[in-house]
Chain A
């Protein structure tokens, strides 16, 4: 099967818009995507978007946009989220979080959730000084 669909949209840096972000994402849904995988992609989008608002754009006004692009192919989905925050080394950050998070911790689980669900997770600096979070999820069950 050859399948390709992509959608891109900008949202202001506002936590109140998560509902709208998820609604937009659900309009892109394709019936061949397994329910569990779609649910994980929704969660990845929520974590990625709120992380950008809360951390990368912490000191920015809400007008600074967060750009989201979703690409659905026959076998996997790619989610890209661009922010305009400072650079960050994701592997180092993830390692710190995994060492520090205990059962009683009240926060800091977003990145770990993203990492656990992803087949690929990267956070890279772009040429125009933005960061791009890339989350790739395959539709086939693992193993």
Chain B
């Protein structure tokens, strides 16, 4: 069984407005059959607690569908939000897209 990898890449300020958009995108990729979802945060300049809530929703949606969710390219500001809320333990993260690709390649020879 091969897994379907999908990447979602939000940009700008990940706040309440973008949070809803992100939830819809994740819902769509899960519905399309993705079993491994990467949220690439390279282009996110700032995240608040609503943005964090959307990431938690994304994690739930992907897991409920039996898939895995990963994050990559987290900047210092996003890291700070994770640490303040102790959510850094909850997400599987990679420092960048290459590291994620390498790890996924190893999982599926």
Tell me if B52 and A43 are in contact (CB < 8 A): no
Instruction: Kindly supply a per-residue 1/0 record for chain A positions 4-45, scoring 1 wherever the CB is within 8 Å of any chain B CB and 0 otherwise.
Output: 000000000001101100100000000000001001101100
CA distance A54 to B37 in the complex (A): 30
Q: What is the minimal beta-carbon distance from B20 to any residue of chain A, in angstroms?
A: 10
Contact A113 B17 (CB under 8 A): no
The answer to whether A109 and B52 touch (CB under 8 A), given A43-B80, A46-B46, A104-B60, is yes
Interface size, B (range):
20 to 34
Cβ-based interface call for A67 (8 A):
no
Residue of chain B at shortest CB distance from A110: B49
B17 near A104: Cβ-Cβ < 8 Å: no
Question: Do A42 and B15 touch across chains, with their CB atoms under 8 A apart?
Answer: no
Given contacts A104-B56, A112-B85, whether A19 and B49 have CB atoms under 8 Å apart is no
Is A47 located at the chain interface by the 8 A CB criterion? yes
Per DSSP, are chain B's interface residues mostly helix, strand or loop, or mixed? Answer: helix
Q: Does B93 contact A (CB under 8 A)?
A: no
How long is the Cα–Cα vector from A50 to B81 in the complex, in angstroms? 16
* Contact among B53, B57, B84 with A117 in the assembled complex (CB-CB below 8 Å): B84
Closest residue of chain A to B50 (Cβ to Cβ) is A50
Chain A at the B interface: mostly helix, strand, loop or mixed? helix
CB proximity of A84 to chain B, nearest CB, Å: 20
Contacts of A83-134 to chain B: CB distance below 8 A:
103-107, 109-110, 112-113, 116-117
Contact A46 B15 (CB under 8 A): yes
A121 CB, nearest partner CB in chain B, Å: 13
**Complex: chain B residue closest to A18, CB-CB:** B15
Taking CB atoms, residues of chain B closer than 8 Å to A39 are 76-77, 80
Decide if B7 is an interface residue (CB 8 Å cutoff): no
Q: Is the CB of A106 within 8 A of B87?
A: no
Q: In the complex, A40 Cα to B15 Cα: how many Å?
A: 15
Partner among B16, B46, B60 whose Cβ is within 8 Å of the Cβ of A15: B16
Which residues does A use to contact B, with CB under 8 Å? 15-16, 18-19, 22, 36, 39-40, 42-43, 46-47, 50, 54, 103-107, 109-110, 112-113, 116-117
